[in-house]
Structure 1
Amino acid sequence: MSNIKHLSNAIRFALFAGAASIFAAPVIAQDDQDEESKELDTIVVTGSRIQRADIEGALPVQVIDRAQIDASGDVSVAELLRDSTFASFGNFRPQSGSSAQAVSDIDLRGIGSQRTLVLIDGRRVAKSPFTGANANLNTIPLGAVERIEILSDGASAIYGSDAIGGVVNIITRKDFQGAEVTYTRGNPSITGGDIEAGSTSYGAAGDRGRVLATASFNKRGMVFTRDQIGGGTLGVSTFGNNYRLANAAGTAPTGAFIPMPGFNCGGSGTGSGADLFYQTNPGGAGNVCSFNFNAIAANEAETSTTALFVSADYEINDNWSTYLQTSVTRNESFGRYAPTPGEVFVPEGSPNDPVPGDGRGAFIRHRFAAVGPRDNNTDENAYDIMIGFKGRVADAVDLEFGARQFENQAYELGRNYIVTRLAERSIQNGSYDVRDPFGADRATLDAMAATINRDASWFSQEVFGTAAFDLFEMGGGASSMAVGLEWRSEDYADIYDSLQSSGQIQGAAGNSAAGGRNIRSAFAEWLFPITDTFEVTAAGRFDKYSDYGSDFAPKVAFRWQPLDNLTLRGSYGEGFAAPSLPELTQSAAFSADSVVDLQTCLAFGRTDCANSPQIQVDATVISNPSLSSEQSDQWSLGVVYDPIDQVSLKLDYYDIGIQGRIAAIGSQTLINRDILGIPLPPGLSVTRDPITGGIVGVVRGSTNEGDLDTTGVDFEADFDFDFGNAGSLSSALLLSYIRSYELTNYLSDGTPVTTEFADTFGSPDLRAALLNTWTLGDFGVNWNSNFIKGTPEDDASFAVGGYTTHDLQVTWKAPWNATIALGATNIGDKYPSLQSATGGRPWNFFLYDAYGRTPYIRYTQNF
């Protein structure tokens, strides 16, 4: 708490200093602005630390500028990047019922968000405390963004860990002057999911400095399952009100599920309360008392982000300047999950025994609907402050150094969860009657329920310094080098309450984790302009982690321009992804895992094992402090061709290989290997009873195992035409094609087993986008089309067709210095195929949304 207080004081001081400079300095003339913009044409682009004039360099960088951001109709960074063609297999989004309910990430190439590095102004974005493994895009305010640069190439030699799949560099607004207020509101075709966003920015500049402050908010409403496609289908679950007889030992259920006698399970499944309990096949075979969880649960959590971002820089003298960036962000979410399901054993003699007198007891699967839905609220508060200095020494060496501190405190509260032992006691002694759950008084229900909590945090500090200088002249100019040092500390905690950690909560489990580490880094980059048309860049970086060890990542890239309108480029590099702090420090936690194992089924005394050998086993989930980093190698070749001034064509081929990937090994995988006699990874185990052969326990976790290899092609065609009195047209065609995506595991004898995922269910091999902007005077039209290729299947009933949506926007620049935009995303009201269902959702939640058409209006006023 003291750290937050100190940081808040620092932010208040920064805001005061910035405000003082605004009122003390006159606004500079337009000619000065033009001169400054010319200087900014020579910049450090994403993927390099050497300043150069050629934006189209040796590395493929795609730029989403502010005009494209405004034309998208999106209100958050996360929604904007979901449409990127590089998000091959989709991105995680806020989901009710998830331990990362408020998180949105970016996953380039489909190789994992933990292998995609996110930067803000070239500095690493801290991890979300709810995951400990990737950045949460919901904590980055879109109103403060000037452009987004996506480097679709590995960059560990420049930035270190995580940059295997590429880098997303979010560049914040700095040159804005004046004041701007923007408000956006939109309502989808479905019920829920409404969007609202607003921002206000104020920027000013004087002879020696400038300051920009942006305050913003954006909201996306909750979307209930019942209001989206597939949600009208009744949810089917044996966790309604059913029982199975216990075996003779009373240790496991046997036989089929039977509706609980004495309970009125005659609802329609479509109303509320008791009406949500219904029979799946009244009077017929296999009939169970089910519960329609779709009527209560939400697919997408409600999210709300508010932020304040301030940046300032000041020219101390002709050679030195200082800069400050600080932000405060609050990200809140609310999710709703269906009432808790639970399975409870009732012994013979219990008032709730469905078959009294048989001497066996029973296992009852019950939905605690009378207690209420499980409601989860999260609250993230992030504080970020960075101060730095830039200068030139002896008119030969450019220096930059600075320090940064980031803190994110996150909290989660979950209501109406059931404590297993308390529910068992109430059911076994009859104080809670499973035949009449809605007849229970509030005190009885509250006696079984609990409000669960989770406290998470991420705290990091860093110090950095870079020196850039020219070494000698070559045929194409000065040979330049950039060298630097970094030090960073990371402290992480994700602490679940004692009930969750001990496995006492039905329908929830928590694996607490906490730890910290220091990282020391040294890097260098060297540019060799061999001729005016051919240059080579070499880079290398060494990172030493205080927990698992060290890594070195080299890279070499070339750029050759044989013709004025033709550029060839390529690179080879090696990279790494450090194991996350949760993977290294997670506390051991209990989990009841559903698996298939015939020996254990028979050991439980069940007689239906031949047809249904699924059973629950006790599992312990552990961390693995022996994990090492993932290693990668990647190479790329590309060509840029401008046949005429108005057309630019870019084609890049990539090849990425990852070795020793960190993978979570589940209980079923361990059991299968145990049956086949394949050695298990160190620290993981399957323990069986020496007499019955039944599983006594499973220890599962993560290990370095297997490879990932992927290749593909990216294509971009940019068109820019001026038709005079008919206006101007700018278009961009973007395509990303995955040629192969192979996961390889190795058997005990070293034999590789490779599975191809490209162009299979959930893994489309092609995404494309067509972006069009036509302007005429004060009017403009933006038309964006997004396409996700379908995936064929051997069984046609599982095939998923292609998915194309169109976004349309019309803008008008009003004479009172305002801009009005009317538009609609997904104007064709397209919905994803229900054949794409995965992860317990009616459709692929990572690749598609199901809001339908979303008309919106945006008003921007400049002063």
Structure 2
Amino acid sequence: MFKKSKVCTAALMALSGGAILATAMPVFAQDQQQEGQALERVEVTGSRIKRAEAEGALPVTVIKREELDASGATTVAEFMRSSTFSSAGNIRPQSGSSAQSFAGIDLRGLGSARTLVLLDGRRLPKAPNVGDSVDLNTVPMVAVERIEILTDGASAVYGSDAIGGVVNIITRKDFDGVHAAVGYTDPSNAGGEKREASVVVGVQGEKGSLIMGVGSTKRGMVFTSQRPWGQTQGVSTYGNNYRNASGAFVSLGNLRGDPTIGCTDPNFWMTATGSCSYDFNKVAADEAEVENKAVFARGRYKINNDWESYLSASVSQADSFGRYAPTPAQLTVAANTPNNPTSAPIVVRHRTAAAGNRDTTTDTTLFNTQFGVQGKLTQSIELDVGGSYTDSKYKELGRNYIVRPILEQYVNAGLYDLYNPSANPSDVLSAIKATIGRDGSFKQKDVYAIATVYDLFKLPGGGASLLASIENRTENFADIYDSLSEAGVIEGSAGNSATGKREVNSASFELVMPLLKNVEASLAGRYEKYSDYGSDFAPKASIRWQPTKTLTLRASAGEGFRAPSLPQLNQKESFSAESVFDPRTCIAFGGPTTGPAADNCNIGRLVQVDTFTGANSSLKSEQSKQFALGLVWDPVEWAGVKIDYANIKIDDKITLIDAQTLIDRTNGDDPRPIPPGLFVTRDANGAISRVQQGYANEGTLKAQYLDLSLQSRWKLANFGRFEHELRWSHVLKYDDNGEDVNGTLGLPKDRAQFNTGWKLGAFNANWNINYIAKNGKVDGRIAGGYTTHDIQVGYTTPWKGKVILGMLNAFDKQPQLVAYDGRNFNFYLYDSYGRQSYVRYEQNF
């Protein structure tokens, strides 16, 4: 069988009451037991009962530090993007986004808000700039010992958000010495270069241990012009155009007899249809520059033979810089003014390029500390009492945004010349610009007490174990926009402030019952009471049967929930001009009812309507039901297989009911009712005057998954030791409100990895193959299967150093240009770096 240290084996094979553990590798505790060694109890994700049994009742994949290093990833977010469990990919930093620096984790394609992220078993705070998900950029890679991924619902153990699964990031504990590393990554495509540096120091003693570290990573900005799709001219009606009598936008210069007037400044150009466009590809960036810095410390002190105290603290910072093209503005220009020689008002779409690019810098800082004492009250009762405090702060500064009323005033007064934008005086340009800001925080305080009773009562298979816990958590959230943005007068930006506070009191239990020597049943449940919306209870039952030493079968069933986020319950009302299809409004605005779709009100012409988004204080939690089946089998000593099936149903989804959906319902195109508090109002002529969109509990999502893991280890005479693992995640079903969207754009049915490792003396090598299945098409272009290869070689020097050379995407696979979510390709699943060659040097002292 595969040999490991006793602590590692226990960690990989611990069984729980809430009941978990599956391992990334099938191994057996019997080897050590036969050798007369006592296994240490270790807590593993999915349960807080410490066990030392073989295999568990729920699937957990353990990513050890060696795999993190072999991946070539420099951040936790970067590594998790390659996980096969990230079915639909993960959000990552994007220039020009309201969540520019954010990097999330989305298990099963169910959304990052339905994936619970823990640090050493305690939940991390939500990122202030999104309000409902954890930013992985605030978790320092240098501090990570391993990552445990639970791919089943776990609300019965951890509470809200764990519908899609749990990612538990375990920090380093047992390290003695000094480890330093530096590295550099150079992509084959320009932009996106990476730098990394870290130092870890650990001290072990009879009375305790202390480990400290500092790390820094930085990835450069990727400009659109550095990519092939950025070589074509960007097309936008927001160049310098006005709407003519037929409703089309044509060059403003036509009003002065020459369409090129006002369209000769840098990056402006005339289209074949006679409009003045702006080439935003020349100046905008696809990806933001991101720099992560962190320092951490973790210590344990042995009070006596039965008790010890623990304390951990970390401060991490993620800074980003993004660039978006100059602000586009839609203006109403009065008749008979210097910029409008006609006798009727006109609508102008103008790019304020002379005012400069929209540049945004962000600064996210997370302070996290956890402390407590744990030990034995008696030989059979253990107690863990402690608390944690986290404070996530977010600051954003945006330059060169436009104050629409001032610009409109200056245009109508002739102070701003639309026909010669670059010649406008600097004081005029300064007058129409604003520096906007955003200041957010998410503070979380948590106190807990956990008692575990072993050998509570006897059963044929042994003594039962019971865990009982109580917890109190407070959350304080604020996302404050500047006053001009709140007033809705800033062009080129959207959003409004939100603040909120809640208190959560919870109680939970886990009961593990060894019914027979080879059969264990588990029950778990958690009750949570929220001060702002109500309460929930999530139960779970599981069973594990080991008919032979080489085969384990498992099953579980339970319920889960996700509480509405603080922004959804408390955000201020915000305004946006949404583009929608509504024939009645289009006709009322004077639009045509004949001609091609783009110009025909009855077919496809879009109109902009005033849309307001606000909080919904009546939201309740989402509810889920799930069950899972699995087996772990070692058919031979050198190979093992793990297969797991999961079935998830989510009711009362918290869903944004957007403007188009509401309009369709009022027009009878969608038979579903309009939720309370949301509406569409129209003027007497039928034109929409206001749309009130927002969140509501509506809809059902049903999903089924199949996961496979195959592993083997073998030695070939004098040619070294080989390790292989195939991980394959298959989506069997993804039904959203009765619509089967499995395999459609952005939702591939399959993700797989095949990892091979080799070691011989001082040399080692790794070869990882990553596969993403096809997922739909746009305009006839299919997002087909996508395969990349990552290669790494290493040499350990006689002086305890190590030289590592590697290539991510070694064969320079480029992303498929199938537009998705406003980008040239799916940013969540793919990247545009091309081949990433890297070098890293590590030194131990």
TM-score under structure 1 normalisation? 0.91
Percent same amino acid among aligned pairs? 46
Match of 1:254, SS?
A: coil
Amino acid at match of 1:833: Q
2:638 maps to 646
Show CA shifts across 1:22-54 (max 9, x none): xxxxxxxxxxxxxxxx87752111101111113
- The answer to whether structure 1 residue 801 and structure 2 residue 779 are counterparts is no
Alpha-carbon distance in structure 2 between the residues aligned to 1:718 and 1:652: 15
Alpha-carbon distance in structure 2 between the residues aligned to 1:56 and 1:437: 69
Deviation at 1:625, TM superposition (A): 0.6
Check whether the contact 1:255–1:606 (CA below 8 A) recurs between aligned residues.
no
- The answer to whether structure 1 residue 702 and structure 2 residue 695 are counterparts is yes
Q: Which of these residues, 684, 701, 718, is aligned with residue 725 of structure 1? A: 718
2:519 maps to 534
- The answer to whether structure 1 residue 849 and structure 2 residue 842 are counterparts is no
Alpha-carbon distance in structure 2 between the residues aligned to 1:335 and 1:792: 30
Amino acid at match of 1:682: P
- The answer to whether structure 1 residue 664 and structure 2 residue 656 are counterparts is yes
Deviation at 1:426, TM superposition (A): 1.1
1:352 maps to 339
How is 1:203-602 mapped onto 2 (pairs within 5 angstroms)? 203-245=202-244, 254-261=247-254, 274-281=265-272, 286-353=273-340, 356=341, 358-470=342-454, 471-602=456-587
Instruction: Specify whether residues 489 and 263 from structure 1 end up closer, same or farther in structure 2 by C-alpha distance, changes over 3 A only.
Output: farther
Show CA shifts across 1:190-244 (max 9, x none): 1110111111000001111100001011111110111124222221100001111
Alpha-carbon distance in structure 2 between the residues aligned to 1:627 and 1:163: 19
- The answer to whether structure 1 residue 686 and structure 2 residue 668 are counterparts is no
Deviation at 1:55, TM superposition (A): 5.5
Q: Which of these residues, 735, 754, 766, is aligned with residue 728 of structure 2? A: 735
Show CA shifts across 1:157-187 (max 9, x none): 0000000000001011110110011111111
Show CA shifts across 1:277-303 (max 9, x none): 11121xxxx321111111111111111
Question: When the two structures are aligned, how many residues end up with a matched partner?
Answer: 798
Instruction: Specify whether residues 410 and 796 from structure 1 end up closer, same or farther in structure 2 by C-alpha distance, changes over 3 A only.
Output: closer
Alpha-carbon distance in structure 2 between the residues aligned to 1:223 and 1:427: 35
Q: Which of these residues, 620, 635, 638, is aligned with residue 627 of structure 2? A: 635
Alpha-carbon distance in structure 1 between the residues aligned to 2:579 and 2:566: 27
How is 1:832-847 mapped onto 2 (pairs within 5 angstroms)? 832-835=815-818, 837-847=819-829
Instruction: Specify whether residues 379 and 606 from structure 1 end up closer, same or farther in structure 2 by C-alpha distance, changes over 3 A only.
Output: same
Deviation at 1:141, TM superposition (A): 0.5
Match of 1:530, SS?
A: strand
Name whichever of 390-399 and 604-613 sits farther off: 604-613
Alpha-carbon distance in structure 2 between the residues aligned to 1:88 and 1:290: 38
Show CA shifts across 1:84-141 (max 9, x none): 0000011000011111111000000001100000011111011101111000000001
Alpha-carbon distance in structure 2 between the residues aligned to 1:827 and 1:502: 50
- The answer to whether structure 1 residue 86 and structure 2 residue 89 are counterparts is no
Instruction: Specify whether residues 39 and 192 from structure 1 end up closer, same or farther in structure 2 by C-alpha distance, changes over 3 A only.
Output: farther
Amino acid at match of 1:338: A
Match of 1:447, SS?
A: helix
Deviation at 1:537, TM superposition (A): 0.7
Check whether the contact 2:331–2:349 (CA below 8 A) recurs between aligned residues.
yes
Name whichever of 512-521 and 231-240 sits farther off: 231-240
How is 1:771-786 mapped onto 2 (pairs within 5 angstroms)? 771-786=755-770
1:27 maps to none
Match of 2:376, SS?
A: strand
Deviation at 1:610, TM superposition (A): 4.1
Amino acid at match of 1:293: F
Amino acid at match of 1:728: R
Instruction: Specify whether residues 486 and 300 from structure 1 end up closer, same or farther in structure 2 by C-alpha distance, changes over 3 A only.
Output: same
Alpha-carbon distance in structure 1 between the residues aligned to 2:602 and 2:173: 68
Match of 2:515, SS?
A: coil
1:63 maps to 62
Show CA shifts across 1:324-351 (max 9, x none): 0101111100000000001111111210
Check whether the contact 1:712–1:739 (CA below 8 A) recurs between aligned residues.
yes
Q: Which of these residues, 709, 712, 715, is aligned with residue 705 of structure 2? A: 712
Alpha-carbon distance in structure 2 between the residues aligned to 1:154 and 1:851: 35
Match of 1:260, SS?
A: helix
Show CA shifts across 1:460-500 (max 9, x none): 10101100012022222211011100100000000111111
Instruction: Specify whether residues 238 and 394 from structure 1 end up closer, same or farther in structure 2 by C-alpha distance, changes over 3 A only.
Output: same
Amino acid at match of 2:727: L
Alpha-carbon distance in structure 2 between the residues aligned to 1:439 and 1:178: 64
Amino acid at match of 1:301: A
Deviation at 1:796, TM superposition (A): 8.4
Match of 2:374, SS?
A: strand
Check whether the contact 2:564–2:620 (CA below 8 A) recurs between aligned residues.
yes
1:177 maps to 176
Amino acid at match of 2:658: G
2:125 maps to 126
Return 5+ residue gaps in structure 2 as ranges.
1-36, 594-600
Show CA shifts across 1:141-168 (max 9, x none): 1011011010011100000000000000
Match of 1:78, SS?
A: helix
Instruction: Specify whether residues 376 and 792 from structure 1 end up closer, same or farther in structure 2 by C-alpha distance, changes over 3 A only.
Output: closer
2:147 maps to 148
Instruction: Specify whether residues 664 and 436 from structure 1 end up closer, same or farther in structure 2 by C-alpha distance, changes over 3 A only.
Output: same
Alpha-carbon distance in structure 1 between the residues aligned to 2:450 and 2:258: 73
Deviation at 1:265, TM superposition (A): 7.4
Show CA shifts across 1:564-593 (max 9, x none): 111101110100000000000010112111
Check whether the contact 1:127–1:134 (CA below 8 A) recurs between aligned residues.
yes
Amino acid at match of 1:518: E
Show CA shifts across 1:548-572 (max 9, x none): 0000000011110101111101110
Root-mean-square deviation (CA, aligned residues, Å) is 1.7
Check whether the contact 1:567–1:641 (CA below 8 A) recurs between aligned residues.
yes
Instruction: Specify whether residues 268 and 851 from structure 1 end up closer, same or farther in structure 2 by C-alpha distance, changes over 3 A only.
Output: farther
Instruction: Specify whether residues 258 and 268 from structure 1 end up closer, same or farther in structure 2 by C-alpha distance, changes over 3 A only.
Output: closer
Alpha-carbon distance in structure 2 between the residues aligned to 1:451 and 1:464: 44
Alpha-carbon distance in structure 1 between the residues aligned to 2:278 and 2:251: 14
Deviation at 1:771, TM superposition (A): 0.8
2:802 maps to 819
Amino acid at match of 2:606: Q
Return 5+ residue gaps in structure 1 as ranges.
1-37, 247-252, 745-753
Match of 2:428, SS?
A: helix
Alpha-carbon distance in structure 2 between the residues aligned to 1:809 and 1:580: 42
Name whichever of 41-50 and 770-779 sits farther off: 41-50
Amino acid at match of 1:849: D
Alpha-carbon distance in structure 2 between the residues aligned to 1:257 and 1:294: 21
Instruction: Specify whether residues 152 and 423 from structure 1 end up closer, same or farther in structure 2 by C-alpha distance, changes over 3 A only.
Output: same
Match of 1:187, SS?
A: strand
Instruction: Specify whether residues 649 and 359 from structure 1 end up closer, same or farther in structure 2 by C-alpha distance, changes over 3 A only.
Output: same
Deviation at 1:62, TM superposition (A): 0.6
